[in-house]
Structure 1
Amino acid sequence: MPSLDDNHTGARIREQRRLARLTQRQLAARLPYSYSLLNQVECAARPATADFVAAVARVLQIDVTVLTGQPYVTELQRDRLAELVRPIRESLDLYDLGPNPDLTVRSADQLMAGADHLCAEVRATRLRNAARELPGLVAELTHSAWSTPSTEMWQALASTYRTAHDISVKLGYYDLSSVALDRMAWAAERASDACLGAVRQYMRALVYFREGEYGIGQRLIASGHTVVGQAAKTREALAVTGQLHLGGSVIAARADDEAGVGRHITEAHRIAKRIGDASEVHWLSFGPANVALHKMSAAVEMRRYDDALKQARTIRLPSQLATSRRAHFLIDQARTEMETGHTEAALKSLVEARRLAPEQTRYHPAARDTITGLVHLSRRTPDTLSHMAAWAGL
């Protein structure tokens, strides 16, 4: 049987359980999961799914990141990405300092184009490029929004804060992502932009989804609907409303609320049918394809892997779908293939995700856990899987 070192989620669960002075049976008795599964996760014979990790973190009263081990410091340093985080953190602290007289600033049109460009870079999974450019753009936009305030400037600044959140999440810096979302709310309020405010609530909901606090996540989705309800019934507002329903669907799935999943997917489908592909609206990728992807993701979250795999095999991704979303689908597909015994297909899906979005795949918790699971399911580890595990730092 192949082996990994002790730098995996299961080993960290074992360590934290022992620090809490609990036996495996004592911890399992407090979880909605079996003793057998806990035992297999701790020895890395089964991957630690996101919902399992969240449940353990709640019982042990610790942060999820203590168990996931994010960010992956060694790989981040090797990829020279860790050094890009500090300037982002510093740029987020400029928000209330007013204009900077020593700063040379580009024109308003160039700055707004820059904000859109960074959104595009993140969705193309060029995280390094986006992380390198972000701090300077935040500084320029902060100066311009204070010195010549306008709705457009505040909107562009809110967009760059949103990009800071996206980069932070993808690299595992969740504390930084929360700061970025607070800054986004601050700028969206000054822009008097209800749609941006609702997008921010959607992103906050996903933070609590990751932390396993599904009740708060559902309340934030409801709050987002209230906020966007203040906007005119435009295509933009409809797309944001639809995306809120998609966020609500995966939170309901993690909470094992099948009826809630059905309601959210039905509403999102109705909106997508009305407005068609709206990928350009706030870079949300909303449209019929994303509704299908979230329906599959909901099946994965409810551990209905046969149903999820059946859906995956019928999904045809449109050419305009963001690379980040395409890679996420492949990672979900790999998990369903592994769970249903299609290990060779799962490895192929991961290899394709890596080809499309290497930075995103390398740091994606589900991809890393699926790689770990495949290693332990393989009696003889194929060279491709060995290379994949080494590449991910496992």
Structure 2
Amino acid sequence: MDELPIGRRVAYWRGQRKMSQQVFADRIGRSKSWVDKIERGDRRLDKFSLLYQIAVVLQIDVAMLLNHDPERRSSPTGSYDQRELDDLRAALDRCAPAAYLGRVTGPAPSLPELARSVNHAWLTYQYARYGVLTRALPGLLRDTQAADACHSGDAGRQAASLLGQVLQIASSALRKLGDHESARLAADRSIAVALRAEDELLAGVATSRMANALLATGRARAAFEANMIMAQRLAPHDPSATDPARLSVYGSTLLQAAMAAARLGDHDGVRELLRSAEEAATHLGADRNEYWTSFGPTNVELHRAAAAIELGEGREAVDIHENRLHHRRLAGLLPERRAHHLLDIARGYLLVGETGCAGDALVEADRVAPWEIRGRPVAHELMADILRRTKGTAPALVADLATQMGARV
């Protein structure tokens, strides 16, 4: 297949994914005739943003469309390749309930050792080292599933909790890398496992991750409803007397509901949900990382800015970032949160026509967490937009980052 032109490569991978031309066209927002012309070579396919969108839909690395082998690097950016994502999807398939019909034999995995590995996986995610994560997750899914099958009683609940956490990490990583359906599947399975672990808070976080995947596929109403059901279930009667973990998960669920409400254009709903989340954060008192939520006063402000962008209020988002955000507290958050916020603010700057500031935000985000920028489809789309607007006159640092990302108009 190495010698095929790009249109034939699209046709090949579309066939591998068992999509008709019409289904594929619908998913990329084009006509069936447009797809047919691309696959026959009658029309050029040379915009990187469109190539990346096609790669996301086909669930392949964009390099495979460009006649390059996906890179397998061990650089600080933590890159990944398509084979590693395929391994992760296969491991996720093996976590289906039917897999438990063949009970695991042999010695039960050590729960303390597994707990240390799961904690390390969480930190790997929150430091945005997604390539390292995609290589580690298949084995960790296998080991935590084995532990879940082997243990019972209190140890069984602990094992189920560890499996549920790994499924959540997998869901978040897959969503970051553009595989939203696998992300939804992983989160859905995490909810079931969390309930077996009798951990309502773990189920709450898993619900928000599933809702994030739904939101990424355009199902904002379903995402909103899932978060609201869980928020109502977790709502504390007396926030001042509620433990930090419950407050954090409750508040985080409200923030995700606010993002779904913003996608629905519900200004009043966004305002009320952010107010409730702010109240929970005030009772919490400081930014924390209970249940790996990074919830606290600073994260509420980050979501306030992100919701404003979803509502098309770019100036409001920029004002929050420039004048109302406590930047010393922002610097204290983990890299994934900080870089994610800078990605959002780059969108905000583009909304108000400040292309230079958008480019600066991407460069800063790349400094904080390179793979949050170089590995995510949304970052490539933003860079392509910046390059279009600057018409070949992007500042040196932005142009250099675009080259490293392989981005072009």
**Shorter-normalised TM-score: what interval?**
0.7 to 0.9
CA distance in 1, matches of 2:186, 2:405: 27
- Alignment of 1:101 onto 2:105: yes
CA gap 1:278/1:343 in 2 versus in 1, 3 angstroms: closer
Q: Which residue of 1 aligns with 2:62?
A: 74
CA gap 1:218/1:322 in 2 versus in 1, 3 angstroms: same
Q: Which residue of 1 aligns with 2:183?
A: 177
- Alignment of 1:207 onto 2:213: yes
Amino acid at match of 1:73: D
- Alignment of 1:160 onto 2:166: yes
Amino acid at match of 1:301: E
TM-score (norm 2): 0.76
Q: Which residue of 1 aligns with 2:42?
A: none
CA gap 1:116/1:99 in 2 versus in 1, 3 angstroms: farther
* TM-superposed deviation, 1:325: 0.7
- Alignment of 1:247 onto 2:222: no
* Bigger Cα displacement from structure 2, 238-247 vs 378-387: 378-387
Q: Which residue of 1 aligns with 2:350?
A: 338
Cα RMSD for the two superposed structures:
3.1
Q: Which residue of 1 aligns with 2:139?
A: 136
Q: Which residue of 2 aligns with 1:359?
A: 371
Q: Which residue of 1 aligns with 2:86?
A: 86
Amino acid at match of 2:120: H
The residue matched to 2:326 in structure 1 has which SS? coil
The residue matched to 1:313 in structure 2 has which SS? helix
Q: Which residue of 2 aligns with 1:28?
A: none
TM-score (norm 1): 0.79
CA distance in 2, matches of 1:224, 1:337: 33
* 2:164 and 2:190 in contact (8 A); partners too: yes
The residue matched to 1:121 in structure 2 has which SS? helix
Alignment match of 2:403 (pick from 387, 390, 393): 390
CA distance in 2, matches of 1:341, 1:374: 10
CA gap 1:242/1:84 in 2 versus in 1, 3 angstroms: same
CA distance in 2, matches of 1:335, 1:186: 35
CA gap 1:80/1:217 in 2 versus in 1, 3 angstroms: closer
CA gap 1:340/1:72 in 2 versus in 1, 3 angstroms: farther
Structure 1 moving runs of 4+ over 6 Å: 12-15
Alignment match of 2:274 (pick from 258, 265, 289): 265
Q: Which residue of 2 aligns with 1:56?
A: none
* TM-superposed deviation, 1:139: 1.5
* 1:72 and 1:172 in contact (8 A); partners too: no
CA distance in 1, matches of 2:286, 2:245: 12
* 2:164 and 2:191 in contact (8 A); partners too: yes
CA distance in 1, matches of 2:143, 2:228: 34
CA distance in 2, matches of 1:336, 1:142: 42
User: Which whole-Å deviations, capped at 9, do the CAs of 1:153-205 have from their partners, x for residues lacking one?
Assistant: 11111000111111111111222212211321221121011111111221222
Question: Quick one: higher RCO (CA 8 Å, sep 6+), 1 or 2?
Answer: 1
Equivalent pairs, count: 348
Structure 2 unaligned residues grouped into runs of 5+? 1-5, 8-24, 35-45, 65-69, 72-78
* Bigger Cα displacement from structure 2, 123-132 vs 263-272: 123-132
The residue matched to 1:286 in structure 2 has which SS? coil
* 2:315 and 2:352 in contact (8 A); partners too: yes
* 1:309 and 1:337 in contact (8 A); partners too: yes
CA gap 1:75/1:268 in 2 versus in 1, 3 angstroms: farther
* TM-superposed deviation, 1:288: 0.2
* TM-superposed deviation, 1:337: 1.9
CA gap 1:274/1:14 in 2 versus in 1, 3 angstroms: closer
User: Which whole-Å deviations, capped at 9, do the CAs of 1:215-268 have from their partners, x for residues lacking one?
Assistant: 212211122124435999432121111011101111111111110011001000
User: Which whole-Å deviations, capped at 9, do the CAs of 1:315-372 have from their partners, x for residues lacking one?
Assistant: 2342431211100111112222233232222211111111222222123343222212
CA distance in 2, matches of 1:138, 1:68: 24
The residue matched to 2:257 in structure 1 has which SS? helix
User: Which whole-Å deviations, capped at 9, do the CAs of 1:87-110 have from their partners, x for residues lacking one?
Assistant: 2223223333354335x7652111
CA distance in 1, matches of 2:57, 2:27: 13
Q: Which residue of 2 aligns with 1:35?
A: none
CA distance in 1, matches of 2:54, 2:115: 38
CA distance in 2, matches of 1:339, 1:250: 18
* 2:172 and 2:209 in contact (8 A); partners too: no
Structure 1 unaligned residues grouped into runs of 5+? 7-11, 22-42, 49-63
- Alignment of 1:112 onto 2:115: yes
* 2:287 and 2:297 in contact (8 A); partners too: no
* Bigger Cα displacement from structure 2, 373-382 vs 161-170: 373-382
CA distance in 2, matches of 1:351, 1:138: 34
* 1:105 and 1:140 in contact (8 A); partners too: no
Amino acid at match of 1:306: R
Alignment match of 2:381 (pick from 349, 355, 369): 369
* 1:279 and 1:286 in contact (8 A); partners too: yes
Amino acid at match of 2:32: L
CA distance in 2, matches of 1:99, 1:13: 42
